[in-house]
Chain A
Amino acid sequence: MRLFRSITLAFHSMWDYKGRSILALLGMLVSTLLLAFLLAVLHNFQNSVDGQVSGFGLRQIVAMPGRVLNRKVGQFDLSTLMSVTTMNSTLTAQDATNVKKQVPDVVAAVPQTEIVSSAHYGNASTEILYTGTTVSFDKVFRLKLAEGRWLDHADMNTEAPSIVLGALTKQALFGKANAIGKTVMIKGVPFTVVGVLAPKELIGFNFDERAYTEYSMVVHTTNVTHASMIFFSVSPHASIDQVAGQIDGVISKDHGRKDFMLVKADEALHLVDILMKLITAVTVGVVGVSFLVSGIGIMNVMLLVVNERTREIGLRKAVGAKSYQILLQFLAETLIICLIGSGLGLGISVGLLKLLGHYYSAISTQMPVYVVQVSVLFSLVTGLLFGLSPAIKAVRVQPVDALRYE
């Protein structure tokens, strides 16, 4: 049978029921649009998470203030997050030093502390996170510098302290001008800028709006006494769980009680994974309902079409069409409506993705091939399921009934 002719026939019969056909087509369009767009966004988001993790590394353990109650052994999931109790930090730079000394598999132990403060340069000033840390910090986060260098040992404990600016901090104070060697005032202390960070994105972290200096400098110039986090890098061959146990032992012993928690990077990623799966499941559920509704719409249109074309069906059977040929003809017509709808939906979702990428440059605008495949598959399956009953109705038409049909 000629495909093109059956497509034009399908169009003609759709034309007789313009309103309903457009609604049916629209239903399929919206369903595909939802499915393709949401899946693509999720996919791209997952990709950027994966990309960011490679900029941090999975072999990290972070000590944070607060405690997790009723934590199940070896599990880190949504309920863990819900049972975190916040408390003031009791972590110190000394904890980092002690762990580094006592746990050989910890290759770096980097405390971080911070407070919101304002930074001044000439007439310009901006709110920043005034952050204290150590020389290994840049290695833990694999930081890239846009200008200058990271803090080094010579910068520590000097009368003329050095500072490294985050990308946005530098932008706010200096604009496009060179910042290296200039003096920035924070908490009444003049700092010499030695480096500027390249912009960096990592979910849950903010690098760009900070200014980094030596840890004790922050402790001396503010009323901050404790570290907000301590980052531990685990050596390549050690077991992360074992090392976490050892860190836990050292800090708990020093504090006399467990008043902190340890988060393993791979567990955090696992949490993101769970969230993504949850969102994907919800998406597929909602989109499934949408396909169901549009499938019913298409079925109704096709039932009307079969009714309208009783004479044609009877004639075709009278001149020799077999039942399966009639079945295929009407299934094909349903599938064509579905494919056109989903094609348009895919086209629009690609456009929307580009638009979204225009406003949120962090999200990549690519439409993965598997999303296109899944969308087309969904619409084909919908077409087959809901095209079946109209097609069977067409098969049931008897030539004589059609010949007597006016």
Chain B
Amino acid sequence: MISLQGIHKTIIDGRHQVRVLDDISLAIHEGEFVSIIGPSGSGKSTLLHVLGLLDKPTDGQYFFTNEPVLRLSPGRLATFRNRRIGFVFQSFMLMPRMSVLENVELPLLYSRLSRRERRERCIAVLQGVGMQDKVKQRAIHLSGGEKQRVAIARALVNDPDLILADEPTGNLDGAAKSGILQIFSKLKAQGKTIVMVTHDTDAAAIADRCLRIQSGRIVDAKLAGGAK
């Protein structure tokens, strides 16, 4: 479903050129669950941003269901992100003053659904992550685990083809963590395509395939798969 070919990302930071991604090639099949591990600063988030069409690589090609998505105009990119990609950000990225429902609803505001349809979808995904009882609560009053559930619900609300999660268990302790991992197992069972960045071996274990990144390069690919 997804194919990256020769992706480079160089960032000019003052006078220095930083090679954040260095010749990354990667194929992900529909329904696959891929985890990415690697030390801090190795470029995991950057790779995920490229996959999520939030960041443009300096070089390389990206095909999403055979579409060369790097050539899309900004407006079409926005629509593409809105319809086909669900992103769980490294730091929850919830709007603290908005309610749980409003946070989850945010992507739907830029789709063409009616108010009622939006409500129904939000309630459904919030049920899926076990947050149906805190719909009206403000995001700022939630615990870390609850925030992450809401952030996942927001990524799922548009029923995306691809789910990208950047360390979804990063700031969580045992119980909260296993709750989140359960959600991802469930998504995998539903046949969703998932890419998850993690530091955590438990988390990496539920994936079909695990990529290791170091200094912007893929250095190791465990289990069978299409990684080069």
Let me know if A320 and B82 touch, CB within 8 A. yes
Tell yes or no: B55 within 8 A of A by CB: yes
Q: In the complex, which residues of chain B have a beta carbon less than 8 angstroms from the beta carbon of A318? A: 52, 54, 81, 87, 89, 93
Tell yes or no: B107 within 8 A of A by CB: yes
Let me know if B49 and A319 touch, CB within 8 A. no
B62 to chain A, nearest CB (A): 16
Tell yes or no: A399 within 8 A of B by CB: yes
A:288-341 near B, CB below 8 Å? 311-312, 315-323, 325
Let me know if A320 and B54 touch, CB within 8 A. no
Closest chain B residue to A12 by CB distance? B97
Tell yes or no: A403 within 8 A of B by CB: yes
B201 to chain A, nearest CB (A): 26
Q: In the complex, which residues of chain A have a beta carbon less than 8 angstroms from the beta carbon of B87? A: 318-319
A23 to chain B, nearest CB (A): 23
A325 to B111, CA, bound (A): 12
Tell yes or no: B95 within 8 A of A by CB: yes
A:352-406 near B, CB below 8 Å? 399-400, 403
Let me know if B54 and A400 touch, CB within 8 A. yes
Per a CB cutoff under 8 Å, which of A1, A12, A319 touches B154?
A319
Per a CB cutoff under 8 Å, which of B55, B95, B109, B111 touches A312?
B95
Knowing A311-B93, A403-B49 touch, does A319 contact B54 (C-beta < 8 A)? no
- A interface bracket (residues with beta carbon within 8 Å of B): 10 to 19
Per a CB cutoff under 8 Å, which of B75, B82, B93, B109 touches A1?
B109
Let me know if A319 and B89 touch, CB within 8 A. no
Q: In the complex, which residues of chain A have a beta carbon less than 8 angstroms from the beta carbon of B109? A: 1-2, 321
Let me know if A319 and B81 touch, CB within 8 A. yes
Tell yes or no: B106 within 8 A of A by CB: yes
Let me know if B55 and A319 touch, CB within 8 A. no
Most buried by A among B49, B54, B158: B54
A286 to B89, CA, bound (A): 51
Let me know if A321 and B110 touch, CB within 8 A. yes
Let me know if A320 and B111 touch, CB within 8 A. yes
Closest chain A residue to B75 by CB distance? A322
Knowing A1-B109, A403-B49 touch, does A319 contact B95 (C-beta < 8 A)? no
Tell yes or no: B79 within 8 A of A by CB: yes
B:72-86 near A, CB below 8 Å? 74-75, 78-79, 81-83
A5 to B115, CA, bound (A): 13
Knowing A400-B54, A403-B49 touch, does A317 contact B78 (C-beta < 8 A)? yes
B:82-116 near A, CB below 8 Å? 82-83, 87, 89-90, 93, 95, 97, 102, 106-107, 109-111, 115
A-B contact pairs, 29 of them (CB 8 A): A2-B115, A312-B95, A315-B95, A315-B106, A318-B87, A318-B93, A319-B81, A319-B106, A319-B110, A319-B154, A320-B78, A320-B79, A320-B83, A320-B158, A321-B109, A321-B110, A322-B75, A322-B110, A323-B74, A323-B78, A325-B110, A399-B49, A399-B54, A400-B49, A400-B54, A403-B49, A403-B54, A403-B89, A403-B93
For the complex of A and B, list the 10 residue pairs with the smallest distance between their C-beta atoms, beginning with the closest.
A320-B82, A319-B107, A320-B110, A399-B54, A400-B55, A322-B78, A321-B110, A322-B75, A320-B81, A320-B78
Known: A316-B110, A400-B49, A403-B54. 10 other contacts (CB 8 A): A12-B97, A318-B89, A319-B107, A320-B111, A321-B78, A322-B75, A325-B110, A399-B54, A403-B49, A403-B89
Chain A: residues with CB nearer than 8 A to chain B? 1-2, 5, 12, 311-312, 315-323, 325, 399-400, 403
